[in-house]
Structure 1
Amino acid sequence: MRWMEAVGPLPRPGWRALLLDAALAAVLGLICFQTATDDVSVPRPPVLPLGLPEVAKAPGSAFGALILVFVMCAPLALRRRYPLAVLWATMAASSLVLVTGGADQPDLYPCVVLACLVGVYSAAAHSPYRFAALATVPLAAVLVTVLRELMLITVPADYLPFVLLAPLVAAAGGYHVWRRRLGEDRQRLAAEARAQEHALRDAVAGERARIARELHDVVTHHVSVMVIQSGAARAVLGTEPEQAREALLAVEGTGRSALTELRTVMGLLAETASDGPEEPQPGLDAVPELVARMREAGVPVRLTVAGEQRPVTSGIGLAAYRVVQEALTNMVRHAPGAAATVVVEYTPQALRVEVGNTAARSPAAAGRTGGRGLIGLRERLALYGGTLRTGALPGDGYRVEALIPLEAA
């Protein structure tokens, strides 16, 4: 039925809210108990209408007072968990109390009205069944009027306007609270959506930066080496064709290596998995091959591995490899003819990678240098808690040193 459609799930109050509701029900029940056991001067009629049982018995009856407290106030302990059911139960219990005991105990009217007001407010403020909760209030007012006309309940004329209007005011207040909470929920959901969107944009930007770093490291290194090799081949092409042929073969090998690494990096952009196995990313075990490739290109490089070697994660291995690759690439571009020394040192706490080079023997080609490679290295090392230090050496050389923490063995 449409009038029983919910606009959301039932509320899930925390244990603090449940304790507060239980305390409210207990306080209201204590008030009703005290009121029901007070002596009254109005005599009780011998026969109740429609043969209804006596719930609130003679004045001073503790048993009737306990039943009164239970049927009218106990449901209020769950007013936020099951607000609509509590409203109906409270109204039904209040009607029973008025029919069976309201004639000789008029002091019960404020307690009955207060219990109903709490139920009405709770349903209007917390129930997801909006139409049923709001429609119950005017229907209850009509029911009270009909029962009073049929002489089934006795509501003094002084109380009647309050009994009819107070629930409407409580419903309006509860509806206002529900609308305000709904607006706050919408604002919270919108803020969460914006935060999720920002996080997604940041993740995309981070992924783009990571791919840009990979492309920079691969392209600049291999292209720089190929430039050196092709230049050497050009220099000896007329006089030493065999040596020129070896240089061109080295260019071809460097180009193939570059294509392999580029395919690996570009595979990061693929949305679906490739059909064949992907080439693994280089690590520390690929440093000797990198040094050998530089030597074949005519760059004097010496590799030293110190300390007790132990396995490292693929991410740390790739970061260390990129440090060596970027440092050697920068040396080729900015210090032509220089010699390099690569040191890979394993310590109990960290992995140290140092690349130093001597002064350039010939002037570097003029061109724009953006420094993107070193910035990318710092960001890459920062992911693993590492640091990068760069600076000039005595004698116009240059040094790049990376320190990456390792877990204790």
Structure 2
Amino acid sequence: MSVELTPWRRPGPSREQRRTDVLTGVAVAAGAMLNLTLVNSVGQFFLGRPPAWPEQVFWTLACTLPLVARRRFPIAVAIVISVALIGSQYRHSPEQQVASGALYVALYTVGAWSIDRVMARRVRLGIIAAMFGWLAVSAVLSLVNLPPNAFPNASGPLEPLLASIVSGVLVNVLFFGFAYLFGDTAWTSARRQHQLEVQAEELRRSQADAAQAAVMGERVRIARELHDVVAHHVSVMGVQAAATRRVMDKDPGKARTTLAAVEQSARTAVDELRRMLNLLRAGGTVPDEPPGAGVDQVGELVVNARDAGLETSFGVYGEPAPLPESLSQATYRIVQEAVTNTLKHAGATNLDVRIRYHAAELEIDVADNGRGTAGRPSAGLGLIGMRERVTAHDGTLTTDPRPTGGFRVRARFPLARVTA
């Protein structure tokens, strides 16, 4: 999973972040005013004779107070502070420590929060170049006005003036470099945090979709199980009950036999319902097929159809081969559904079930002599279930009327013979 980062634009500061900037800017300005008072109290003016007190206050606030909007307007704030710092140094305002720190913070903010990355890079490089240019100009001005005994206590191996220039350059390179690099690092970190949030959201959506798909799959399996097992037995019970009513007076013995079949079907349906309910209560999944329902039990389906009043025939052709359990169960379910449809919809009197083992194919053929497609469901759950089972085993299914009358269900599966 990857997220394209190039078009990402960092969102603007939140209300809480803007409130923090205001408090921070006011606190820095207050600190700068305190430092200005202390410097004037000491009386050490390294830049030269300072201007009047109101002008000192003006330059001090101009260099620090714009930080109240640093994340809302990072480029504008950085330009204002850099211009104010140059002006304050030109006018010999004594407060320079806090003002210089404010400039570094402003440069960092441009790198961390500016939306236009190209403009952010140009503005920072431009400010840095301007500050070093002013450093060179101020050095030249200081050299012109330098008194002969400017460094009375100098004792190092370097010339005092050269050492002062190198020291100023190195300090500025260090601080400006850190402000530039840390700003880019903060912006990259925010971009990566955005990527992680997007990926986490995609993962949550994917997990929700997977959970929903699992729920839907479970519902489909339960519906198929109810239709294939319970509905089959209930349908057979209805047909058998109708046959019992017709022969009750004419043939009581046959009626008793049919009622016994109805009783057995009811017990089977109740057992299947209980099995599924127990699985659901236990938090398990309903298996696709109940244990023991396989191709070997197809004959029992034919016997049930015969007990329901149909003339039936059942044949197995070819050399029977051991089948994978899932294929054996699918064969049973397809025959079961075809028999159920014949009993419920066909109005047939004859049912023919054949299983053919070919060299590389298993064929199931269920045919009746009923009404063909008339009265049959064209896209019911039974047909959907049969197609699902056939598709799951890479087979083919055809359901169509017979030329001589009636209806035929034919399924073919690739036969991979396995060791018994």
Q: 2:325 aligns with which of 314, 318, 324?
A: 314
> 2:354 aligned with 1:343, yes or no?
yes
Tell me the distance in 2 between the aligned counterparts of 1:265 and 1:151: 94
**Amino acid in the other structure paired with 1:209:** V
Structure 2 counterparts to residues 150-161 of structure 1, below 5 A:
155-161=166-172
CA contact (8 A) 1:386 1:403 kept: yes
Tell me the distance in 1 between the aligned counterparts of 2:274 and 2:416: 32
**Gap change, CA 1:217 and 1:271, over 3 Å in 2:** same
Structure 2 counterparts to residues 179-198 of structure 1, below 5 A:
179-198=190-209
**Amino acid in the other structure paired with 2:235:** S
**Amino acid in the other structure paired with 2:304:** R
**Amino acid in the other structure paired with 1:213:** R
Tell me the distance in 2 between the aligned counterparts of 1:394 and 1:198: 47
* Cα deviation digits, residues 219-252 of structure 1 (max 9, x gap): 3321221112111111122232222222111111
> 2:303 aligned with 1:292, yes or no?
yes
Q: What SS does the aligned partner of 2:393 have?
A: coil
CA contact (8 A) 2:239 2:344 kept: no
**Amino acid in the other structure paired with 2:339:** L
Moved over 6 A (4+): 150-154, 366-369
**Amino acid in the other structure paired with 1:344:** I
Tell me the distance in 1 between the aligned counterparts of 2:197 and 2:157: 47
**Gap change, CA 1:368 and 1:356, over 3 Å in 2:** closer
Q: 1:238 aligns with which of 249, 254, 257?
A: 249
Q: 1:353 aligns with which of 361, 364, 383?
A: 364
Structure 2 counterparts to residues 321-340 of structure 1, below 5 A:
321-340=332-351
Q: What SS does the aligned partner of 1:311 have?
A: coil
* Cα displacement (A) at 1:308: 1.8
Q: 1:397 aligns with which of 395, 398, 406?
A: 406
**Gap change, CA 1:367 and 1:407, over 3 Å in 2:** closer
Which one has the largest radius of gyration? Answer: 2
Tell me the distance in 2 between the aligned counterparts of 1:152 and 1:292: 115
Hey, what does 2:216 align to over in structure 1?
A: 205
Hey, what does 2:393 align to over in structure 1?
A: 384
**Amino acid in the other structure paired with 1:381:** V
Q: What SS does the aligned partner of 2:169 have?
A: coil
CA contact (8 A) 1:338 1:360 kept: no
Gaps in structure 1 of 5+ consecutive residues:
1-119, 125-149
* Cα displacement (A) at 1:158: 3.0
CA contact (8 A) 1:359 1:395 kept: no
* Cα displacement (A) at 1:213: 0.8
Between stretches 172-181 and 234-243, larger displacement belongs to: 234-243
The two structures, once aligned, show a CA RMSD in angstroms of: 3.1
* Cα displacement (A) at 1:348: 3.3
* Cα displacement (A) at 1:360: 4.1
CA contact (8 A) 1:344 1:351 kept: yes
* Cα displacement (A) at 1:261: 2.9
* Cα displacement (A) at 1:391: 0.8
Tell me the distance in 2 between the aligned counterparts of 1:268 and 1:383: 24
Identity of aligned residues (%): 37
**Amino acid in the other structure paired with 1:358:** N
Tell me the distance in 2 between the aligned counterparts of 1:152 and 1:315: 93
Aligned length: 257
Structure 2 counterparts to residues 83-122 of structure 1, below 5 A:
none
* Cα displacement (A) at 1:207: 1.5
Q: Normalising by structure 1, report the TM-score.
A: 0.57
Tell me the distance in 2 between the aligned counterparts of 1:388 and 1:266: 31
Hey, what does 1:111 align to over in structure 2?
A: none
* Cα displacement (A) at 1:405: 2.2
Hey, what does 1:38 align to over in structure 2?
A: none
Tell me the distance in 2 between the aligned counterparts of 1:151 and 1:251: 115
* Cα displacement (A) at 1:281: 4.3
Tell me the distance in 2 between the aligned counterparts of 1:152 and 1:240: 132
Tell me the distance in 2 between the aligned counterparts of 1:371 and 1:152: 100
Hey, what does 2:266 align to over in structure 1?
A: 255
**Gap change, CA 1:273 and 1:202, over 3 Å in 2:** closer
Gaps in structure 2 of 5+ consecutive residues:
1-107, 113-154
Tell me the distance in 1 between the aligned counterparts of 2:410 and 2:377: 24
Tell me the distance in 2 between the aligned counterparts of 1:357 and 1:195: 48
**Gap change, CA 1:210 and 1:247, over 3 Å in 2:** same
Tell me the distance in 2 between the aligned counterparts of 1:399 and 1:191: 48
Tell me the distance in 1 between the aligned counterparts of 2:169 and 2:386: 84
Tell me the distance in 1 between the aligned counterparts of 2:346 and 2:318: 30
**Amino acid in the other structure paired with 2:264:** G
Tell me the distance in 1 between the aligned counterparts of 2:156 and 2:281: 81
Tell me the distance in 2 between the aligned counterparts of 1:187 and 1:360: 59
**Gap change, CA 1:385 and 1:300, over 3 Å in 2:** same
**Gap change, CA 1:186 and 1:152, over 3 Å in 2:** farther
Q: What SS does the aligned partner of 2:168 have?
A: coil
* Cα deviation digits, residues 183-204 of structure 1 (max 9, x gap): 1011011101211210121121
**Amino acid in the other structure paired with 1:168:** A
Tell me the distance in 1 between the aligned counterparts of 2:383 and 2:157: 90
Q: 2:384 aligns with which of 375, 379, 389?
A: 375
Structure 2 counterparts to residues 41-120 of structure 1, below 5 A:
none
Q: What SS does the aligned partner of 2:394 have?
A: coil
Hey, what does 2:416 align to over in structure 1?
A: 407
Q: What SS does the aligned partner of 2:191 have?
A: helix
CA contact (8 A) 1:236 1:243 kept: yes
